[in-house]
Chains A and B, each alone.
Chain A
């Protein structure tokens, strides 16, 4: 089939993931930087089917709906950035792996009142060598930590940027994304040894 109509050129679509613990501000970040309100998609898994993709012949298996929020930023006619909020629970690795496939990088949001909530996300991206930055979301009443203190608490590689942010604010959200893309570019120029 010929799809070569010039008025229908296919944009290059880059994918950035937004991860972090429950209620840390993932959907808020997707919404604040996107040109459209966060869109919502779902995938259905059965409890027994998590880990396989076989949901045929289900009888009494429970089904689980895994929600994904996403948004889009159009850079120009040929270039778009999609932001996908990851489902809050890592046990949905089936969905995480699909989202992570081909991703440019990830933003891991952290709340200093419960820093440990982002450990699984940090682990996930480290293990798969997916570049990420940590965004420390400023929640009211939370003690302010320096980026270095957060880096130390999370035992991050010194190259991993830690940016404090208020993801309700578009400029602040943009700043986190810029930090990520610059980090990706820097890793290209100075590849991190793989050993």
Chain B
């Protein structure tokens, strides 16, 4: 597949004759699936140290850079989508680009998040009561 200047896949069908692209996905050049990564809503994303100044970041779109800025501290996929006002599917595609370029680390939810033990449940109950 040809690539454009950013090294991202280029889609020939984006020209005027190709018919409408689902509008929120114009940010991704019409791509609906990330090149890599699962990106659970509660996966956490952390930018690599110095990612924004890395050579790989030079050609990024503003949306990619905005994600790197948000991910200076661990942040969930859901919160990135809310913070940037982008639909979740678009954020996943952008995250796939960043992951493939080595600019972020991705932490999918652990088994413990899906099946927390009794100590964790107790901590949640105590924490909720203390709110």
- Which residues of A approach B to under 8 Å, CB–CB? 1, 3, 5, 8-15, 33, 39-44, 46, 53-59, 63, 65, 70, 72-73, 75-76, 79, 81-82, 84, 98-99, 101-102, 104, 170, 174, 177-178, 181-182, 184-185, 188
Contact = CB atoms under 8 A, between A and B. Distances in A.
Contacts of B122: 185
Interface string B54-76: 00000000000000000001101
B63 to A, nearest CB: 15
Given A3-B105, A42-B87, A42-B88, A99 B41 contact: yes
Contact of A41 (B22, B88, B105): B88
A182 to B, nearest CB: 6
Given A1-B102, A73-B127, A41 B82 contact: yes
Contacts, number: 131
A39 B82 contact: yes
Mostly, the A contact residues are: mixed
Nearest to B81: A41
Given A41-B81, A41-B82, A185-B118, A33 B131 contact: yes
B125 interface: yes
22 contacts: A1-B48, A3-B48, A8-B73, A10-B107, A11-B44, A12-B113, A15-B41, A39-B79, A41-B82, A54-B32, A55-B25, A56-B32, A70-B78, A79-B120, A81-B127, A82-B76, A84-B78, A101-B40, A174-B129, A177-B128, A178-B125, A188-B121
Nearest to B130: A75
A46 B41 contact: no
B121 A184 contact: yes
Contacts of A101: 40
Given A46-B22, A75-B127, A82-B76, A181 B41 contact: no
Contacts of A5: 49
Interface residues of B, number: 49
Nearest to A82: B42
Given A13-B42, A43-B87, A98-B41, 7 more contacts: A9-B74, A11-B74, A13-B44, A41-B88, A42-B81, A44-B89, A181-B125
* Smallest CB-CB A-B distances: 10 pairs: A75-B127, A39-B82, A3-B105, A102-B114, A41-B81, A185-B121, A13-B42, A10-B107, A42-B87, A10-B44
